[in-house]
């Protein structure tokens, strides 16, 4: 029986466990290395097929591919979002929403596209979208699209939202941004050698609340900014440890705890709905 709706679809946040800028392409895009980690905190989306062909912008490329394969447009889809992830937080909220929308539409339309095909459709929409479609802890290179599965930590995180929005462009255009970090290997990451976020120095200089959050959280464990900011995180071995630190976070900040994920929860939801 064909699906007509998918409700409660998760769009989890990601953390950059490290982020190195290793160079720059002739077209201006920066070459990166990072490890993306999914966590169990994020937005939630609902999808319902329509009687007409209207869709949200993120699904237009998938709609065009469906038309190429089937010679007709699929039905439109209504999308509702319960938004929890902040804009400009470095958590990949918009990219995660788009990836969940692509996975849901692929199922609702019975389009049959494989993950790699969805990733190719998603990349022009946002460099982080392929990771969310990949759906597991990944060592990322290039502009973030070259992904290799790696074992991720089994831990809890405390994440602080410093209350500012950090425009990605402001970080990557800064003249003092480090752009020549020596590339590392997966083995280097697993050995936790010389890992940092090359964007953090610029972000903390331009946005003092980020610097303040890093400094405060560093008093309770190794703290690092995720992505281009503004959110700051630290890892803890147990939920109890994370909860103890969370209770101490100053009231001026929004803060929360989250568990590391080994697999995108949308994958499991789709498997359940296919039974």
d(CA 209, CA 166): 11
Give start and end residues of each alpha helix (H) in the chain: 60-70, 93-108, 115-122, 129-134, 168-172, 186-190, 200-206, 208-218, 239-246, 265-274
Q: Which of 97, 128, 198, 257 is catalytic?
A: 128
Q: Which of 14, 97, 198, 257 is catalytic?
A: 14
- Nearest to residue 34, comparing CAs of 188, 202, 230, 235? 188
Q: Is 247 a catalytic residue?
A: no
Q: Is 267 a catalytic residue?
A: no
> Which residues make Cβ contacts (< 8 Å) with residue 1, sequence separation at least 6?
none
> Listing from the earlier edge strand, what are the strands of the sheet with 223-225?
223-225, 232-236, 156-161, 254-259
- Which residue numbers are catalytic? 14, 128
């Amino acid at each position: 029986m064909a699906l007509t709706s998918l409700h409660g679809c998760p769009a989890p946040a990601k953390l950059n466990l490290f982020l190195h800028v290793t160079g720059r392409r002739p077209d201006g895009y920066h070459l990166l290395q990072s490890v993306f980690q999914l966590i169990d905190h994020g937005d939630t989306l609902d999808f319902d097929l329509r009687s007409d062909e209207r869709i949200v912008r993120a699904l237009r490329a998938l709609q065009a591919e469906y038309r190429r394969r089937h010679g007709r447009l699929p039905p439109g889809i209504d999308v509702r979002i319960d938004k929890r992830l902040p804009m400009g937080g470095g958590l990949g909220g918009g990219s995660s929403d788009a990836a969940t929308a692509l996975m849901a539409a692929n199922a609702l339309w019975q389009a049959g596209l494989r993950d790699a095909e969805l990733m190719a459709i998603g990349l022009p929409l946002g460099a982080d979208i392929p990771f969310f479609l990949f759906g597991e802890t990944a060592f990322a290179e290039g502009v973030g699209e070259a992904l290799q599965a790696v074992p991720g930590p089994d831990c809890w995180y405390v994440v602080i939202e410093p209350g500012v929005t950090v425009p990605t462009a402001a970080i990557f255009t800064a003249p003092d941004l480090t752009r020549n970090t020596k590339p590392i290997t997966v083995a280097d990451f697993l050995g936790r050698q010389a890992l940092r976020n090359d964007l953090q120095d610029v972000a903390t200089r331009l946005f003092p609340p980020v610097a303040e959050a890093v400094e405060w959280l560093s008093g309770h464990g190794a703290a690092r900014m995720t992505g281009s900011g503004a959110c700051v995180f630290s890892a803890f071995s147990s939920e109890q440890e994370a909860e103890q630190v969370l209770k101490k976070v100053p009231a001026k900040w929004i803060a929360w705890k989250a568990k590391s994920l080994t697999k995108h929860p949308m994958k499991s939801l789709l498997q359940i709905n296919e039974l």
